[in-house]
Amino acid sequence: MKRKRFTEEQIISILQAADAGRKPEELAREHGMAIGTFYAWKAKFGGMSVNDAQRLRKMEEQIRQLKSLVADQALDNQMLRSVIEKKS
């Protein structure tokens, strides 16, 4: 099954169409997505504007990078502690 990737603009427009009165099943069939995907999007992006969704994506990317930095620092600290313990 082909996997589609929707942009924030497309997701927000689909959710706005549902808020306007269209049935989620109809939207899922029209856009070729699962109904569960619609409800996952609604939980994540419900009530957001396009700018909010883009800002959320950027913040999630920054958090991922910061977590990577923290993990690297923790490994460095552990390595330095083991070196210090070996010397003493």
Write down the domain spans for the chain.
8-87
CA pair distance 80, 75, nearest whole angstrom: 9
pTM for the predicted model, two decimal places: 0.67
**Residue 35 pLDDT exceeds 80:** yes
**Residue 77 pLDDT exceeds 80:** yes
Which pLDDT belongs to residue 53?
A: 87
Q: Residue 35 contacts by C-beta under 8 Å, 6 or more apart in sequence?
A: 24, 25, 28
